[in-house]
Amino acid sequence: MAEVLALIDERMEEIQDLRDRCMEHEDSIKEARQAAAVLPSGEMLDKILRYETKLERQMYRAMAQLERVQRMRRGEAIPAPLSVEVSGRG
């Protein structure tokens, strides 16, 4: 009889461990879904990247113009503006 009770206790511990792991797994799935819900869609991410690229180009143009104006104020000879864009596309 004691052997049967020991076996039952052992199985109950195994079942409790499995239950705890399932609960943790369900919690992690819930957290992942909540995190995914706040991410923008692929279409929106593309739009954000296009805006970011446009703003970056504008910033570099403004910096180049500022540098030219500063050189002119110092009386330096300013060559004609030269703009080179390098693309990774082949």
pLDDT score for 90: 58
**The tokens 């239950």 sit on which residue?**
19
| Distant-in-sequence, close-in-space partners of 68: CB < 8 Å, separation ≥ 6 | 78, 81
Mean per-residue pLDDT of the chain? 90
pLDDT score for 1: 86
Q: What does the block give as tokens for 81? A: 């503006």
Are the beta carbons of 78 and 68 closer than 8 angstroms?
yes
Percent of the chain with pLDDT over 90: 64
pLDDT score for 60: 94
pLDDT score for 11: 93
Is this structure's pTM higher than 0.75?
Answer: no
How would residue 36 be classed by pLDDT, with cut points 50, 70 and 90? Answer: confident
